[in-house]
Structure 1
Amino acid sequence: MTDHWHQPLRHIKGATLTGDTSQTSGMTRLEAISGKTVGSSKVWMGETHVAPATNSGDHHHGEAETAIYVKEGHPVFVFADGDREVRLETGPGDYVFVPPYVPHREENPGDEPAVVIIARSSQEGIVVNLPSLWPDQDRS
């Protein structure tokens, strides 16, 4: 009999991560922990690879809170604060928190790949691609 106290732990090997998730241009998202992979009901976790000298498209993650741990490289996280574009320059060991619905993008201006580990408060990898960081206003 399986109950809350007697469920098995699940081991996901890094070499078995799947790219069968929503993608944003300039990035490759790999899914590790999700409703699809382990039956998770509240958490999504995986990693994202951003190639050198590239950036993601502008996007948000819906109602999900997102926590990011920088594993490799020096990615830059860009978001809008009113009319101002803010750039958070990061390195290995840094953490970034992205609140729900906040438009942002990841950039990798360097010459080495960037790899980040992502955890979200949703069982699936929600990605809503946007035309800009200011989706409600024309910034052209």
Structure 2
Amino acid sequence: MADEWHGALHHVRAGQLTGQTGQTAGMTRLEAVSGKTVGSSKIWMGQTHVAPGTSSGDHHHGEAETAIYVVSGRPVFVFAEAGSEVRIETEPGDYVFVPPFAPHREENPGAEEAVVVIARSSQEGIVVNLPGLWPGRAG
């Protein structure tokens, strides 16, 4: 029972996810748990769908830490390190951690849709689209 010390649980059904969040080209982000949907104050959670043969634009998630769980497909996560592009190839069951302000993109080179569940340390789904992975230069 909810009272001043114990909040009520919220149930968000799969069909209730909303796409009213920051979007990046090549991806569809669906919001499940957020300040807008359930009144959370410290966490955002949802899922992202990447169509076969596509990739997101380069982006980061501001000050939020991001944890990703691969549900289906074999998405690839791309980021820059020491002037080189690094690719993390994943499969269902894998997890990826993205630190705050880390430029990256998701790719789906496979023939099936890739679906991932995302949790962020912010109540909202922050998406900052970028011209490239390297600050100050495109590409």
Please tell me the TM-score bracket, short chain as reference: over 0.9
- Structure-2 residue corresponding to 1:3: 4
- TM-score, normalised to structure 1, is 0.96
Q: Given the two structures, how large is their TM-score scaled by the length of structure 2?
A: 0.96
Aligned residues: 138
Identity in percent:
71
Structure-2 change in CA distance of 1:85 and 1:13 (3 Å): same
Matched, 1:117 2:117: yes
Asked if 1 retains the 8 angstrom alpha-carbon contact of 2:131 and 2:137, the reply is: no
Aligned to 1:52: 52
Q: CA deviation at 1:135?
A: 2.2
* Deviation by residue 1:39-92 (Cα, 9 ceiling, x = unmatched): 000000000000000000000000000000000000000000021100000000
**In structure 2, C-alpha distance between the alignment counterparts of 1:114 and 1:19, rounded to whole Å:** 17
**1 CA distance for matches of 2:100 and 2:88?**
18
* Structure 2 unmatched runs, 5+: none
CA–CA distance in structure 2, aligned partners of residues 94 and 138 of structure 1: 30
Contiguous gaps of at least 5 residues in structure 1 = none
Aligned CA distance change for structure 1 residues 36 and 51 (closer, same or farther; 3 Å):
same
After superposition, the CA RMSD in angstroms is 1.1
Superposition deviation, residue 16 in structure 1: 1.0
Structure 1 residue ranges, 4+ long, deviating more than 6 angstroms after superposition: none
Q: Distance in 2 between matches of 1:127 and 1:4?
A: 33
- Shift in Å at residue 3 of structure 1? 1.6
Aligned residue identity for 1:115:
V
Residue-by-residue CA offset, 1:91-117 (whole Å, 9 max, x unaligned): 000000000000000000011000000
Per the alignment, residue 30 of structure 1 pairs with 30
Residue 2 of structure 1, CA deviation: 2.9
